Amino acid sequence: DRMGTKSLMLMRTIRMGLVATAIATVSGLLLAGTGLRAQKAELASVLKQMDASAAKFQDVAADISVDNYTAVVQDHEFQKGITAFRRANGSMEMVMHLKTSDGQPYADLLYRKGQLENYNPIQNQETIVSAGANKQEYDSLLATGFGATGKELSAAWTVTFQGMETVDKVQTAKLDLVSKDAKIRENYSHLTIWVDLSRDISMKLAMFQPSGDSRTATYSNIQYNAHLKDSQFKLDIPKGTPVQRR
């Protein structure tokens, strides 16, 4: 009868729909699995290249441009200056000299032997912070963009490869990093670095805080393995400057 025929057709249509849905679901899962395997393979290749380049890294000097973003007031503050990094005695060292956007001295920073010195010329104040038990965290953050091996990076961070991008005419691997250290995550929810794989140095580094604030540093005029002198890793602080230790 007609009702029976219609019911049979309806059941067939439903079965065909279910089969089509199942096929689409399985296909989607297979494609997703293929995509995930491809991403893992690409990340493994990037980290392997970093391992090879890190072995050659000694030091780097560069111009730096910094964009400090404050989310609550949606405001950007800019600085420019020079910076340098090097491996010395199994640890990372960093020096940075920053000026405001209108060229006024803003800050001089030096990290060396587990100690961070910050000279504020505007307030004529020097602050010295000892890394102490947190030295490994400091070293990890500094080495993240300069000279870290792929193994070191993946040991300290959950790394996501976000593709290749050009920064200042240099082809870079864009990597998003979430620290495996809860203390670092309290201050930085994640970092993004744009790495020149041939030299294992960052062309750009963005640090994001849970508050929504961020700090983005862009590097240019890079001098790679320039055999930097010890004198470059010192601060010229006027005698008599008040010192605060933490």
Give CA separation, 227 vs 44, 122, 137, in Å.
31, 32, 26
Q: Please, are residues 191 and 139 in contact by the beta-carbon 8 Å criterion?
A: no
pLDDT tens, residue by residue, 59-83: 999 999 999 999 999 999 999 999 9
This prediction has a pTM of 0.81
Nearest CA to 86 out of 142, 126, 9 is that of: 142
Give the 3-state secondary structure of 180-204. CCHHHHHHCCEEEEEEECCCCEEEE
Per-residue pLDDT, 144: 80
Ranges of residues in the chain with a pLDDT under 50 are 2-3, 32
Alpha helical stretches, state H, 55-200:
135-143, 150-156, 182-187
Per-residue pLDDT, 115: 87
Per-residue pLDDT, 63: 96
